[in-house]
A = this chain, B = another copy of it.
Amino acid sequence: MEVRLRDREATRERLLAAARALFAEHGYERVTVRMIAAAAEANIALVGRYFGSKAGLFGEVLAGEPTVRQVLEGDLEGLARRLGEYTAQRMRAEPDSPILRTLERSAGDPEIQALLSERLRTAVVNPLAARLEGDDAMARARMATAVFLGVGSVRRLLGPSDPTPEDVDRLTGLFEACLRGRE
Protein backbone atom coordinates (compact mmCIF):
# COMPACT_ATOMS: atom_id res chain seq x y z
CA MET A 1 0.00 0.00 0.00
CA GLU A 2 1.28 3.37 -1.01
CA VAL A 3 2.24 5.83 1.70
CA ARG A 4 1.35 9.36 0.82
CA LEU A 5 1.99 12.25 3.13
CA ARG A 6 -0.43 14.55 1.38
CA ASP A 7 -3.42 12.28 1.23
CA ARG A 8 -6.77 14.00 1.21
CA GLU A 9 -8.71 10.85 1.92
CA ALA A 10 -6.46 9.74 4.77
CA THR A 11 -6.58 13.15 6.43
CA ARG A 12 -10.32 13.25 6.05
CA GLU A 13 -10.53 9.86 7.70
CA ARG A 14 -8.32 10.96 10.57
CA LEU A 15 -10.56 13.93 11.19
CA LEU A 16 -13.61 11.70 11.07
CA ALA A 17 -12.12 9.21 13.52
CA ALA A 18 -11.03 11.94 15.91
CA ALA A 19 -14.46 13.54 15.75
CA ARG A 20 -16.16 10.21 16.36
CA ALA A 21 -14.12 9.60 19.50
CA LEU A 22 -14.42 13.13 20.86
CA PHE A 23 -18.14 13.52 20.24
CA ALA A 24 -18.71 10.22 22.00
CA GLU A 25 -16.54 11.31 24.89
CA HIS A 26 -17.86 14.83 25.46
CA GLY A 27 -20.94 15.37 23.33
CA TYR A 28 -21.41 17.78 20.49
CA GLU A 29 -21.29 21.16 22.16
CA ARG A 30 -18.30 20.58 24.37
CA VAL A 31 -16.10 19.46 21.52
CA THR A 32 -14.44 22.23 19.51
CA VAL A 33 -13.14 21.96 15.97
CA ARG A 34 -9.75 22.87 17.38
CA MET A 35 -9.87 19.80 19.61
CA ILE A 36 -10.79 17.63 16.65
CA ALA A 37 -8.08 19.05 14.44
CA ALA A 38 -5.48 18.65 17.17
CA ALA A 39 -6.48 15.03 17.83
CA ALA A 40 -6.34 14.27 14.11
CA GLU A 41 -3.05 16.13 13.78
CA ALA A 42 -4.59 18.15 10.99
CA ASN A 43 -5.21 21.82 10.38
CA ILE A 44 -8.33 23.50 11.70
CA ALA A 45 -9.35 24.83 8.32
CA LEU A 46 -9.63 21.33 6.90
CA VAL A 47 -12.74 20.65 8.93
CA GLY A 48 -14.49 23.41 7.05
CA ARG A 49 -12.95 22.34 3.78
CA TYR A 50 -13.85 18.66 3.95
CA PHE A 51 -17.10 18.71 5.89
CA GLY A 52 -18.45 22.19 5.33
CA SER A 53 -18.94 22.86 9.00
CA LYS A 54 -18.76 21.31 12.43
CA ALA A 55 -22.38 20.23 12.09
CA GLY A 56 -21.61 18.65 8.73
CA LEU A 57 -18.81 16.66 10.28
CA PHE A 58 -21.10 15.57 13.07
CA GLY A 59 -23.69 14.45 10.55
CA GLU A 60 -21.11 12.34 8.77
CA VAL A 61 -20.04 10.79 12.07
CA LEU A 62 -23.62 9.80 12.75
CA ALA A 63 -24.09 8.47 9.23
CA GLY A 64 -21.03 6.27 9.58
CA GLU A 65 -22.38 4.40 12.58
CA PRO A 66 -23.85 0.94 12.07
CA THR A 67 -27.61 1.01 11.81
CA VAL A 68 -28.76 -2.31 13.18
CA ARG A 69 -28.05 -3.19 16.76
CA GLN A 70 -27.18 -6.81 17.29
CA VAL A 71 -29.49 -6.82 20.28
CA LEU A 72 -32.46 -6.66 17.95
CA GLU A 73 -31.34 -9.71 16.03
CA GLY A 74 -32.16 -13.19 17.21
CA ASP A 75 -35.36 -14.77 18.39
CA LEU A 76 -38.29 -12.59 19.35
CA GLU A 77 -38.93 -14.46 22.61
CA GLY A 78 -35.55 -13.55 24.06
CA LEU A 79 -35.69 -9.96 22.83
CA ALA A 80 -36.99 -8.50 26.09
CA ARG A 81 -34.29 -10.25 28.09
CA ARG A 82 -31.54 -9.21 25.71
CA LEU A 83 -32.80 -5.64 25.95
CA GLY A 84 -32.93 -6.00 29.72
CA GLU A 85 -29.36 -7.20 29.91
CA TYR A 86 -28.16 -4.63 27.45
CA THR A 87 -29.91 -1.84 29.31
CA ALA A 88 -28.65 -3.08 32.66
CA GLN A 89 -25.14 -2.43 31.39
CA ARG A 90 -26.19 1.16 30.87
CA MET A 91 -26.70 1.49 34.60
CA ARG A 92 -23.03 0.91 35.15
CA ALA A 93 -21.20 2.35 32.19
CA GLU A 94 -21.54 4.47 29.12
CA PRO A 95 -22.75 2.88 25.92
CA ASP A 96 -20.19 1.82 23.33
CA SER A 97 -22.13 3.52 20.60
CA PRO A 98 -21.05 7.09 19.86
CA ILE A 99 -24.60 7.93 18.86
CA LEU A 100 -25.95 6.94 22.24
CA ARG A 101 -23.14 8.63 24.09
CA THR A 102 -23.72 11.81 22.19
CA LEU A 103 -27.44 11.45 22.74
CA GLU A 104 -26.88 11.29 26.47
CA ARG A 105 -24.88 14.48 26.37
CA SER A 106 -27.75 15.80 24.32
CA ALA A 107 -27.20 18.89 22.26
CA GLY A 108 -29.36 21.98 22.41
CA ASP A 109 -28.66 23.17 18.89
CA PRO A 110 -31.84 22.41 16.90
CA GLU A 111 -29.90 21.37 13.82
CA ILE A 112 -27.92 18.83 15.82
CA GLN A 113 -31.02 17.67 17.61
CA ALA A 114 -32.65 16.95 14.27
CA LEU A 115 -29.68 14.87 13.20
CA LEU A 116 -29.78 12.89 16.42
CA SER A 117 -33.52 12.43 16.18
CA GLU A 118 -33.34 11.10 12.64
CA ARG A 119 -30.58 8.72 13.61
CA LEU A 120 -32.32 7.40 16.72
CA ARG A 121 -35.39 6.79 14.62
CA THR A 122 -33.72 4.85 11.84
CA ALA A 123 -31.19 3.03 14.00
CA VAL A 124 -33.25 2.07 17.03
CA VAL A 125 -36.95 2.83 17.08
CA ASN A 126 -37.89 1.82 13.55
CA PRO A 127 -35.95 -1.47 13.54
CA LEU A 128 -37.47 -2.31 16.90
CA ALA A 129 -41.00 -1.45 15.80
CA ALA A 130 -40.48 -3.55 12.68
CA ARG A 131 -39.96 -6.60 14.88
CA LEU A 132 -43.22 -6.09 16.71
CA GLU A 133 -46.76 -6.81 15.66
CA GLY A 134 -49.94 -4.86 16.14
CA ASP A 135 -50.98 -1.42 15.03
CA ASP A 136 -49.43 0.22 18.08
CA ALA A 137 -46.05 -1.33 17.47
CA MET A 138 -44.52 2.10 17.09
CA ALA A 139 -45.94 3.31 20.40
CA ARG A 140 -44.51 0.28 22.16
CA ALA A 141 -41.15 0.68 20.47
CA ARG A 142 -41.07 4.29 21.61
CA MET A 143 -41.82 3.29 25.16
CA ALA A 144 -39.10 0.65 25.16
CA THR A 145 -36.75 3.29 23.81
CA ALA A 146 -37.84 5.58 26.63
CA VAL A 147 -36.85 2.98 29.22
CA PHE A 148 -33.54 2.49 27.49
CA LEU A 149 -32.73 6.19 27.25
CA GLY A 150 -34.03 6.88 30.74
CA VAL A 151 -31.63 4.45 32.34
CA GLY A 152 -28.80 6.31 30.63
CA SER A 153 -30.11 9.65 31.87
CA VAL A 154 -30.30 8.40 35.43
CA ARG A 155 -26.78 7.02 35.31
CA ARG A 156 -25.50 10.28 33.93
CA LEU A 157 -27.34 12.43 36.45
CA LEU A 158 -27.28 10.33 39.61
CA GLY A 159 -24.11 8.38 39.04
CA PRO A 160 -23.49 4.79 37.93
CA SER A 161 -24.72 1.80 39.87
CA ASP A 162 -23.89 -1.84 39.43
CA PRO A 163 -26.97 -3.70 38.21
CA THR A 164 -28.06 -6.58 40.40
CA PRO A 165 -29.67 -9.74 38.98
CA GLU A 166 -32.93 -8.27 40.28
CA ASP A 167 -32.35 -5.18 38.20
CA VAL A 168 -31.88 -7.27 35.09
CA ASP A 169 -35.09 -9.16 35.84
CA ARG A 170 -36.95 -5.95 36.48
CA LEU A 171 -35.72 -4.35 33.28
CA THR A 172 -36.59 -7.49 31.34
CA GLY A 173 -40.07 -7.28 32.79
CA LEU A 174 -40.29 -3.66 31.74
CA PHE A 175 -39.37 -4.46 28.17
CA GLU A 176 -41.76 -7.39 28.09
CA ALA A 177 -44.53 -5.02 29.15
CA CYS A 178 -43.50 -2.59 26.44
CA LEU A 179 -43.15 -5.10 23.65
CA ARG A 180 -46.18 -7.25 24.41
CA GLY A 181 -49.00 -6.55 21.96
CA ARG A 182 -52.68 -6.71 22.70
CA GLU A 183 -53.88 -10.24 23.22
A residues bordering B, Cβ < 8 Å? 26-27, 29-30, 103, 105-106, 108, 113, 116-117, 120-121, 125, 136, 139-140, 142-143, 145-151, 153-154, 156-159, 161, 164, 166-167, 170-171, 173-174, 177-178, 182
Query: How far, in Å, is A11 (CB) from chain B's closest CB?
Result: 28
Decide yes or no: A174 and B170 within 8 Å by CB, A139-B161, A158-B121 being known contacts.
no
Number of copies: 2
Query: How far, in Å, is A123 (CB) from chain B's closest CB?
Result: 12
Question: Could you say which of B29, B153, B182 contacts A166, with CB atoms under 8 Å apart?
Answer: B182
User: Of all chain B residues, which has the CB nearest A172?
Assistant: B177
A158 and B146 CA atoms in complex are apart in Å by 10
Query: How far, in Å, is A143 (CB) from chain B's closest CB?
Result: 6
Are B108 and A158 in contact, with the CB atoms below 8 A?
no
Decide yes or no: A139 and B164 within 8 Å by CB, A30-B108, A177-B173, A177-B174 being known contacts.
yes
